[in-house]
């Protein structure tokens, strides 16, 4: 079903009209605020990413146990779309038309969310903190309801590319990327810094097709010294195992979404067992170079990590404490800030307006770009390298834009986590 058809079908449910119980907006009652999301609880993106929504819910549960936001508890309905764009349309339609959610929060995936962004904006449903670094979410005129969250892939590509240019001058570079806006945006950023004559081959994959042997073979035959990857965790692991079979051992530089150490370790061990191999995953990830905009889950001295570990231990102790947990709780923290700023009688328009005027600080290593002229999320990242199950920082955090602006060191320290874990009222 197209976005236009969905928009027509939902015309009576859009905007800030009440939902029949006297509340000021759909999804809002005197005691609750209901929000929704589409998430890959199954399918190729499920490893690692399926924990995002569980982590967000755990943080919301923690906030609810401490009084909620303006006296309301947050009800979080996240539904599986299997990282399949066709399923995403039906999932989001149900959340808006039947569940009458106040907002869609952290819908995951570039190919998936692209199928519903026009619909959500046509219905004036706040579309907050898309779980994708596509620069396409930063279009406040075309999509005034939509806001990014993570550092967009062009900015991240610039930062990774600048590091590769400086650290691997004269080396043979290969690209391996997801063939959609995710990977293509990353490549745009890389190409702004990595000299084209160093790039010996560019290989892409289609999400869902796990046979990447031909791409890895091509990169090995090109004798690449360094492979820069914009891949989700599943394909990072598949690449590493395919390269191992060829005795091909390049340096890997991997985007943040595909380099969670704990997730990669589990995937590598699982894939190896399925293939009849005894290869252990952890040694295969050591030395991977990456970038991140949140504290590493392995940094136990960090106040945000300590807060999240406390919530994790209470609400979701069976899940591995990894980067996806940190990510999901950071998204939830930021949504609580936005809901606080929307005031005691929140409306959809008021929520969006609050974000446009926001000066939020929180768990990020770099600031948000949110403002009246920008709906982009975090503005940069910090380089790091995997050591053990942690990402060890390399240098200072860096900020940049999604165009041709410079890359600049960011020297302001990360804000401390609030003592009680609840964002302070604006």
Q: What is the pLDDT of residue 16?
A: 59
Tokens of 224: 């690449």
In this prediction, residue 203 carries a pLDDT of: 98
pLDDT recorded at residue 426: 75
**367's tokens:** 């600031």
| Average pLDDT of the chain to the nearest whole number | 91
For range 326-344, the mean pLDDT: 97
CATH class of 153-292: alpha beta
pLDDT at 22 > cutoff 80: no
* pLDDT given for residue 207 in this prediction: 87
- pLDDT for residue 2: 40
Band (24; pLDDT cuts 50, 70, 90)? low
| Ramachandran region, residue 23 (left: φ > 0; alpha: ψ -120 to 50; beta: rest) | beta
Percentage of the chain beyond pLDDT 90 is 81
* pLDDT confidence bin for 45, thresholds 50/70/90: confident
pLDDT at 53: 97
Q: What per-residue confidence (pLDDT) applies to 275?
A: 59
Is the predicted pLDDT of residue 7 greater than 50, yes or no? no
- Alpha-carbon gap, residue 426 to 412, rounded angstroms: 21
Q: What is the pLDDT of residues 129-154, one digit of tens each?
A: 999 999 999 999 999 999 999 999 99
Q: Is the pLDDT of residue 281 over 90?
A: no
pLDDT of residue 130: 97
Q: Given this model, what pLDDT does residue 280 score? A: 54
pLDDT of the residue at 15: 52
Both structure tokens of 181: 């806006």
Q: What is the pLDDT of residue 46?
A: 86
pLDDT one-digit tens code per residue, 99-115: 999 999 999 998 899 99
Could you tell me the CA-to-CA distances from 326 to 53, 130, 321, 322 in Å, in that order?
11, 16, 8, 7
What's the pLDDT at 278? 47
Q: Which tens digit of pLDDT belongs to each residue from 293-312?
A: 999 888 889 999 999 999 99
Helix orientation angle between 46-65 and 303-315, rounded to the nearest 10 degrees: 90
Q: Give the pLDDT score at 359.
A: 84
pLDDT value of residue 9:
37
- Quick one: pLDDT at residue 279? 52
Q: Which tens digit of pLDDT belongs to each residue from 257-273?
A: 999 998 899 899 888 77
Taken in order 182, 184, 187, 192, the sign of the CA dihedral is: negative
pLDDT tens for residues 73-98?
A: 999 999 999 999 999 999 999 999 99
Query: What kind of fold does domain 3-151+298-379 have according to CATH?
Result: Rossmann fold (3.40.50)
Lowest mean pLDDT across 8-12, 61-65, 144-148, 196-200:
8-12
pLDDT band at 241 (very low <50, low <70, confident <90, very high): very high
SS3 category, 6: helix
Q: What is the DSSP letter of 258?
A: G
Statement: residue 117 has pLDDT above 50: yes
**3 band by pLDDT with thresholds 50, 70 and 90:** very low
Helix/strand/coil (H/E/C) assignment for every residue in 373-425: CECCCECEEEEEEEECCEEEECCCCEECCCCCCCCEECCCCCCCCCCCCCCCC
Q: Which residues pair with 177 in a beta bridge?
A: 204, 230
Q: List every span in the chain annotated with CATH 3.40.50.2300.
A: 3-151+298-379, 153-292
Q: What is the pLDDT of residues 372-400, one digit of tens each?
A: 899 999 999 999 999 988 899 999 999 99
């Amino acid at each position: 079903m197209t976005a236009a058809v969905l928009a027509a079908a939902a015309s009576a449910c859009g905007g800030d009209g009440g939902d029949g119980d006297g509340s000021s907006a759909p999804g809002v009652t005197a005691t609750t605020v209901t929000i929704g999301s589409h998430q890959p609880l199954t399918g190729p993106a499920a490893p690692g990413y399926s924990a995002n929504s569980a982590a967000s819910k755990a943080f919301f549960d923690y906030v609810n146990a401490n009084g909620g936001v303006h006296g309301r508890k947050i009800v979080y309905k996240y539904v599986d779309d299997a990282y399949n764009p066709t399923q995403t349309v039906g999932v989001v339609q149900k959340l808006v038309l039947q569940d009458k959610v106040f907002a869609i929060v952290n819908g995951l995936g570039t190919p998936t969310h692209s199928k519903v962004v026009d619909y959500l904006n046509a219905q004036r449903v706040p579309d907050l903190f898309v779980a994708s670094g596509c620069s396409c979410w930063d279009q406040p005129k075309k999509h005034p309801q939509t806001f990014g969250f993570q550092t967009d892939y062009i900015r991240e590509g610039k930062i990774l590319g600048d590091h590769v240019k400086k650290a691997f001058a004269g080396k043979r570079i290969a690209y391996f990327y997801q063939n959609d806006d995710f990977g293509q945006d990353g490549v745009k950023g890389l190409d702004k810094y990595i000299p084209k004559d160093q790039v010996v081959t560019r290989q892409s994959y289609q999400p869902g097709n796990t046979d990447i042997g031909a791409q890895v073979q091509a990169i090995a035959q090109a004798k690449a010294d360094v492979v820069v990857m914009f891949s989700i965790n599943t394909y990072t692991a598949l690449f590493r195992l395919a390269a191992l079979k060829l005795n091909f051992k390049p340096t890997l530089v991997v985007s943040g979404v595909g380099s969670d150490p704990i997730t990669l370790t589990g995937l590598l061990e699982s894939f190896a067992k399925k293939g009849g191999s005894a290869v252990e995953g952890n040694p295969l990830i050591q030395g991977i170079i990456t970038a991140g905009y949140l504290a590493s889950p392995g940094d136990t001295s960090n106040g945000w990590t300590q807060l999240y570990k406390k919530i994790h231990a209470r609400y979701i102790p069976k899940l591995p404490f990894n980067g996806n947990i940190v990510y999901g709780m950071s998204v939830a923290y930021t949504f609580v800030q936005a809901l606080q700023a929307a005031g005691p009688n929140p409306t959809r328009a008021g929520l969006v307006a609050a974000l446009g005027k926001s000066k939020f600080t929180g768990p990020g290593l770099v600031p948000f770009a949110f403002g009246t002229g920008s709906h982009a999320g975090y503005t940069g990242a910090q380089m790091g390298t995997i050591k053990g199950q942690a990402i060890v920082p390399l240098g200072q955090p860096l900020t940049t834009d999604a165009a041709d602006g410079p890359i600049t060191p960011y020297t302001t320290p990360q804000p401390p986590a609030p003592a009680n874990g609840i964002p302070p009222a604006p």
